[in-house]
Structure 1
Amino acid sequence: MAQTTQNTDVANTDEMRRPGAKHTAVRVWPVMVITIVYAAVNGLLLRYGTTNIHSAIALGVAPAIALLLLLIWWFGASRVPWKDRFLGGALFIAAAVAITLGQRTVSLGAMLLASALPFLIYGMLPLVLVTRGLRWSRGRWVLVAGLAVWTGVFSAVRVDSIGGNLFPVVSWRWQASTTEHAGMLTRITTQETAQLPEQPGPGDWTAFRGANRDGRVEGVRFSTEWSTPPREVWRRDIGSAWSGFILVGGYLFTQEQRGEEELVTCYHADTGEPVWSNGIKEKFEDGMGLGPRATPTYSGGRLYTQGGTGIMQCLDAATGETLWKRDLRKDALTEVPEWGFSASPLVVEGLVIVFTAGEEGKGVIAYDCSTGEPAWMSGHGDSGYCSPHLGVLCGTPQVLMVSNFGIESLDPAGGTRLWEHKWDIQTNPRCTQPIVLNGDSVMFGATGVSGSRLLRTEYASGQWQVAEKWTTRKFRPYFNDGAVLHQHYYGFDGERVACLDVMTGDRVWAGERLSGQMLLLVDMEMLLVLSEVGEVVLIPATPQAYEVKARFKAIEGKTWNHPLVGGGRLFVRNAREAVCYEIAL
């Protein structure tokens, strides 16, 4: 039987090759089955997938299996002459190598190739169908042309960075990359003095995610009738960074990369015009993007900043003058983390506290705000991208530090460990802030297979007791923070906006794939989400159901920076531009 099948296949191949012979078409039905099954699997992943594990399956595993099946068909059941089977395989390998090696790193090239495979898989079926109406001597050129177009298109694009779903963010090679854009920006030469108030006002936003780092905006109301988008007040180019804005006394402060300089910058909030800049010769760049990651912290007329390579500075907020600086690599005896130093400084009682990802006992360092001298060192974690978080549990102020270790609580004054909870993670880093609940509980989580966990603390007879209340794998935040309202946590399960009942750990609903950053407008009971693609979306903060109240496109390009609402304005930025909108009352 096997010999008969082989002879039939050879005969069919000879028929395709012999001039003037009866036409034998390429066998199509296996390609059709592979394409349909792949499309169904991909559709399910896009519809129901949430985390970057599902993205990795959609990006890498599913197309790889489909490609393997197509290769089996091509070499074993296509009826194509054997010479052309091997030539076709060689052409595909050459095309894949060209796409992969055409990027600045092999890893980025491999990711581009993986994202290009679905186009090849879906394109194969119509191309093969076209060949059925042609003799193979002509039909082969249809497949060659299709492969050439596929190779040309994906060789003409450049991977600029990686999205939150692990898919490459691309642009045409003739367009300026984010790095080139940052290099073309002129250095800010303006050096004015900001006229700052003695104390921040009620509408100011002095630190990462606000003064309490909880993403809650109080005392703000505005119309949600956005059939006409909010009025744009100003728009300007800005250097590359994932840093957010802070707002003090009518001035915006942020961090950015321009050329070879890492900058801390001050802008007029009303006009977007620069006030001053402070630059150092440092540069951090990885697959996620170029420039610093942390957001400045304002306290007592000073700015505390942490750069992507680990240079921490204390600046005069009015002038930008450097008052002192430290190198976390030296102080913590560590190297630059894979995705840069990303934690925003925390100021507590005359100390500025930072996460270093350093060696044991130096993962967290507190510096004297006045002098910059180390006050204490502590901490287990040597990996992670969370910022130190000040919380009050059982009436005791404490610094909560989430890392690959789990979570630990440190005394702000001396760094003594009050309690700890080990929940080791080695796959995906923890990036989101912990959430303090009901004065005695804390919730934290991570993407991938770990999920989220609620701990309950007790303090009695001089001892801390920590107990796990619940753990869920149905709420897996990556780098997207959320907020709590009425015993419900609104945040992200992977890429999807989602609602979690904090009393039970049950996920109440899951919405769109927005994969962005979120503010809770408390008085309006409304979520404001700035999506990864620069869209602003208003979502009622209710456990009843997911609903979009309004939305508009605010900014172009990949956007991981946190939004800011203050003074009747909405401020958004990303790695290329900053925009201010008026939000009407």
Structure 2
Amino acid sequence: MNPARTLVVALLLGSSAAAAEPAVWPQWRGPTRDGAVTGSAWPETLEGDALKPIWRIEKLGPSYSGPIVTRDRVFTTQTVDKKTEVVSAHDRKTGKELWKTSWDGSITVPFFAAKNGSWIRSTPAFDGKVLFVAGIKDLLVALDGDTGKELWRLDFVQEFGTPPPDFGFVCSPLVDDTGVYVQAGGSFVKVDKKTGKVLWRALKDGGGTMGSAFSSPVLARIAGTDQVVVQTRTKLAGVDRGTGKELWTKEIPSFRGMNILTPVPVGDDGIFTSTYGGNTRLLRVTSEGGKYDTRDAWGLKYEGNMTTPVVVADHAYVLGKDKRLVCVNLKTGKEAWGTDERFGDYWSMVANGDKILALDSRGLLYLLKADAKEFDLIGKRKVSDSETWAHLAVCGDEIFIRDLNGLTAWRWSGK
């Protein structure tokens, strides 16, 4: 495992003894922030009793935030009456509401994004005690995980004098032992997790007419140095997490800055990404004498969109702008295969061993074999009548799915 991601796991799980605790989902894309989980092998089917609902919460306001799952509770967000953002905690076993808190927060997103709704977008992060929630109007709020009490809030519009983002606060917070990292206020920012004070601000672009970038940062060890990797609206960059110094940057072309998916560290010096209106590529980052060099290992004429890929055994599984699923060989940059079938606009994917669970935005759950030779669909099941844009959470034998109208906990048998 990448050392930087190992740090995140240790922070979020608390101690080695936590391995015996129920599996958790504390942040965007899971414990290691790469859409991968470990544990018992998954079932070979999604049909019948292999996957059963445990409980469901109805009549929630819409949200794109993925559920956050701790050892004993589940956090979710919603936008109510197009004017209020609500965060609630629920008992993991029963779904019973434990607490709820709210604040004013709503915008109307422009252009083509309007068809997907104007509600909270970012997935919160939980460090074992505090839940960090990004409100759509460029607001970061810290809540006590036990009580829901607000500990602090940071309004980036007021802090930096930047305009509210046209598409809202989309980036999902990244938390380490010292702070919270977000793309907000037309920049990349580190915030003190205890006080809400800005520790440093990097990659400033003022936000422009569109506002801050959409992509979420990751911790990685690249070219022998621990750093934060982040994709802005125009470039991919490595930033020193202590000082905010830009270690290296690489221009990444895309249509109107539609760099949406999260970059994926590969090996010791590689970063995989794909952009809307650009291409799919693997960037190599090297360092000699403190001087960084960036170059494309390869480029593939295929446009990613919103779906962050999962990587299994030197292959990336990518759902692109054309709604096909494509398997890309990370060593050669060649397309191993691509489906003829078109899927929904968005997938959230989780991998375990040689299997991939994929939640389609149309409310369909797919179970795939991660096969570099061919598309191997093992199972398919309708899990929601409403759209499912939030990232699914997979915790051992439990699956948590947030659709636009509610939240459902499922359990599969393992048989």
TM-score (norm 2): 0.88
Go from structure 1 to structure 2 and tell me whether the alpha carbon gap of 1:537 and 1:300 turns closer, same or farther (over 3 Å shift): closer
Give the aligned partner of residue 306 of structure 2: 479
Post-superposition shift, 1:225?
2.9
Does the aligned pair in 2 maintain the 1:555–1:573 contact within 8 Å? no
Give the aligned partner of residue 128 of structure 1: none
Does the aligned pair in 2 maintain the 1:217–1:519 contact within 8 Å? no
Post-superposition shift, 1:268?
1.3
Does the aligned pair in 2 maintain the 1:491–1:518 contact within 8 Å? no
Post-superposition shift, 1:255?
1.4
Give the aligned partner of residue 42 of structure 2: 222
The residue correspondences of 1:564-575 to structure 2 (distance < 5 A) are 564-575=393-404
Does the aligned pair in 1 maintain the 2:45–2:367 contact within 8 Å? no
Post-superposition shift, 1:285?
3.7
Answering whether residue 338 of structure 2 is matched by residue 517 of structure 1, we say no
Answering whether residue 32 of structure 2 is matched by residue 203 of structure 1, we say no
Residue 316 (structure 1) aligned to one of 119, 144, 150: 144
2: CA distance between counterparts of 1:410 and 1:503? 25
Residue 284 (structure 2) aligned to one of 427, 443, 456: 456
2: CA distance between counterparts of 1:407 and 1:384? 11
Give the aligned partner of residue 261 of structure 1: 84
Q: SS at the partner of 2:377?
A: coil
Does the aligned pair in 2 maintain the 1:493–1:510 contact within 8 Å? no
Letter in 2 for 1:271: T
2: CA distance between counterparts of 1:386 and 1:226? 31
Give the aligned partner of residue 240 of structure 1: 62
1: CA distance between counterparts of 2:105 and 2:167? 15
Give the aligned partner of residue 556 of structure 1: 385
1: CA distance between counterparts of 2:161 and 2:136? 16
**Percent identical residues:** 25
Aligned positions, number = 383
Give the aligned partner of residue 336 of structure 2: 508
Letter in 1 for 2:139: I
Post-superposition shift, 1:233?
1.3
Give the aligned partner of residue 303 of structure 1: 131
Give the aligned partner of residue 7 of structure 2: none
The residue correspondences of 1:175-574 to structure 2 (distance < 5 A) are 201=21, 203-228=23-48, 230-237=51-58, 238-259=60-81, 260-286=83-109, 287=114, 288-356=116-184, 358=186, 363-380=187-204, 382=207, 383-427=212-256, 429-448=258-277, 450-474=278-302, 476-494=303-321, 495-511=323-339, 512-515=341-344, 516-523=346-353, 525-574=354-403
Go from structure 1 to structure 2 and tell me whether the alpha carbon gap of 1:308 and 1:436 turns closer, same or farther (over 3 Å shift): same
1:97-148 Cα offsets, whole Å, 9 max, x none, are xxxxxxxxxxxxxxxxxxxxxxxxxxxxxxxxxxxxxxxxxxxxxxxxxxxx
Post-superposition shift, 1:485?
1.0
Letter in 2 for 1:520: V
Go from structure 1 to structure 2 and tell me whether the alpha carbon gap of 1:357 and 1:311 turns closer, same or farther (over 3 Å shift): closer
Gaps of 5+ in 1: 1-195
1: CA distance between counterparts of 2:14 and 2:375? 42
Post-superposition shift, 1:202?
6.3
1:196-244 Cα offsets, whole Å, 9 max, x none, are 9966646111110013221011114232233426211112222211000
Q: Which has the higher helix share?
A: 1
Letter in 2 for 1:256: Q
Q: SS at the partner of 1:290?
A: coil
Does the aligned pair in 2 maintain the 1:276–1:319 contact within 8 Å? yes
Does the aligned pair in 1 maintain the 2:106–2:136 contact within 8 Å? yes
The structure with higher relative contact order (CA 8 Å, sep 6+) is 2
2: CA distance between counterparts of 1:218 and 1:533? 27
Q: Which has the higher strand share?
A: 2
Letter in 1 for 2:155: D
Give the aligned partner of residue 412 of structure 2: 583
1:366-397 Cα offsets, whole Å, 9 max, x none, are 11111111110111454431012211112311
1: CA distance between counterparts of 2:160 and 2:301? 33
Post-superposition shift, 1:357?
5.2
1:492-544 Cα offsets, whole Å, 9 max, x none, are 12212221111111111122322332333323x11111111101011111111
Does the aligned pair in 1 maintain the 2:184–2:213 contact within 8 Å? no
Letter in 2 for 1:574: D
1: CA distance between counterparts of 2:327 and 2:380? 19
Go from structure 1 to structure 2 and tell me whether the alpha carbon gap of 1:312 and 1:366 turns closer, same or farther (over 3 Å shift): same
Give the aligned partner of residue 3 of structure 2: none
2: CA distance between counterparts of 1:300 and 1:247? 11
Letter in 2 for 1:521: A
1: CA distance between counterparts of 2:26 and 2:402? 17
Q: SS at the partner of 2:319?
A: strand
The residue correspondences of 1:108-127 to structure 2 (distance < 5 A) are none
2: CA distance between counterparts of 1:277 and 1:202? 24
Does the aligned pair in 1 maintain the 2:157–2:185 contact within 8 Å? no
Higher Rg of the two aligned structures? 1
1: CA distance between counterparts of 2:274 and 2:40? 29
Letter in 1 for 2:411: E
Go from structure 1 to structure 2 and tell me whether the alpha carbon gap of 1:438 and 1:572 turns closer, same or farther (over 3 Å shift): same
Does the aligned pair in 2 maintain the 1:197–1:249 contact within 8 Å? no
Go from structure 1 to structure 2 and tell me whether the alpha carbon gap of 1:412 and 1:266 turns closer, same or farther (over 3 Å shift): same
Go from structure 1 to structure 2 and tell me whether the alpha carbon gap of 1:222 and 1:469 turns closer, same or farther (over 3 Å shift): closer
2: CA distance between counterparts of 1:567 and 1:319? 26
Q: CA RMSD in A?
A: 1.9
Go from structure 1 to structure 2 and tell me whether the alpha carbon gap of 1:424 and 1:498 turns closer, same or farther (over 3 Å shift): closer
2: CA distance between counterparts of 1:447 and 1:584? 38
Go from structure 1 to structure 2 and tell me whether the alpha carbon gap of 1:198 and 1:227 turns closer, same or farther (over 3 Å shift): closer
Q: SS at the partner of 1:385?
A: coil
Give the aligned partner of residue 9 of structure 1: none
Does the aligned pair in 1 maintain the 2:138–2:165 contact within 8 Å? no
